[in-house]
A and B are shown apart, each in its own frame.
Chain A
Amino acid sequence: DSGVTQTPKHLITATGQRVTLRCSPRSGDLSVYWYQQSLDQGLQFLIQYYNGEERAKGNILERFSAQQFPDLHSELNLSSLELGDSALYFCASSPTVAGELFFGEGSRLTVL
């Protein structure tokens, strides 16, 4: 157990819908990262937050947004969903902006 909690574990929805994925980092970790892993693909960096502030953006679509709340949990919002958004979404946390990443178990999103 990495100490990073992600919910839901599985989510099935339809095209055009909107979903929210939730992440609670390890106790004391200030940095939260979101990664997307499509079938047989690597880990695509989406966005990073540090202590409530956005710190870095990767290949995140405009339909996607995220935030980190004062209690340090983070949410990734995916809207106007398309079939290609089906993937495993990982949240990771680290104690600093450049430390070891501890991954959650992921949220598997299926868009039908």
Chain B
Amino acid sequence: GENVEQHPSTLSVQEGDSAVIKCTYSDSASNYFPWYKQELGKRPQLIIDIRSNVGEKKDQRIAVTLNKTAKHFSLHITETQPEDSAVYFCAAKFDSGAGSYQLTFGKGTKLSVIP
């Protein structure tokens, strides 16, 4: 099955600095890569996603880049704010057979933004 590696597991940045989280995946057929944010004690929520036909996508202070050749994708958060503190999960969609797909998640990155 698909394997998704996520680094780093923890990340501390000063408020206003940028944060970068990187993921690699194993299935070259994967074509959908979402990022979820999970605040303490809450459910994961989609913050941005990218499909394999584009190399970069931006939404205000958040951007995701995809390198299909190297099979890695990254989340970039600029001008970080304390409310960005959370656990971020990357994921990759892969074909689990019989026309079914599933999302495999990385182990998460705990981001702490220091005021």
Residues of A at the B interface (CB closer than 8 Å) are 2, 33, 35, 41-43, 45, 48, 50, 55-56, 58, 90, 97-98, 100-101, 103-106
> Among B1, B43, B98, B107, which residue has its beta carbon within 8 angstroms of that of A2?
B43
Residues of B contacting A: mostly? strand
A33 to B46, CA, bound (A): 15
Residues of A contacting B: mostly? loop
> Among B1, B34, B100, which residue has its beta carbon within 8 angstroms of that of A50?
B100
Nearest 4 pairs of A and B residues by beta carbon: A42-B107, A55-B100, A56-B96, A103-B43
Nearest-CB distance from A56 to chain B (Å)? 4
Query: Interface size on B (CB < 8 Å)?
Result: 26
**Is A56 a contact of B100 with CB atoms below 8 Å?**
yes
**Is A103 a contact of B100 with CB atoms below 8 Å?**
no
**Is A45 a contact of B49 with CB atoms below 8 Å?**
no
Additional A-B contact list (9), CB under 8 Å, known A41-B107, A103-B44: A33-B103, A43-B108, A45-B103, A56-B97, A90-B43, A97-B101, A98-B101, A101-B44, A105-B43
**Is B106 a contact of A100 with CB atoms below 8 Å?**
no
Instruction: Find chain A residues with CB under 8 A from B106 CB.
Output: 42
A43 and B105 in contact, given A55-B100, A106-B43 (Cβ under 8 angstroms): yes
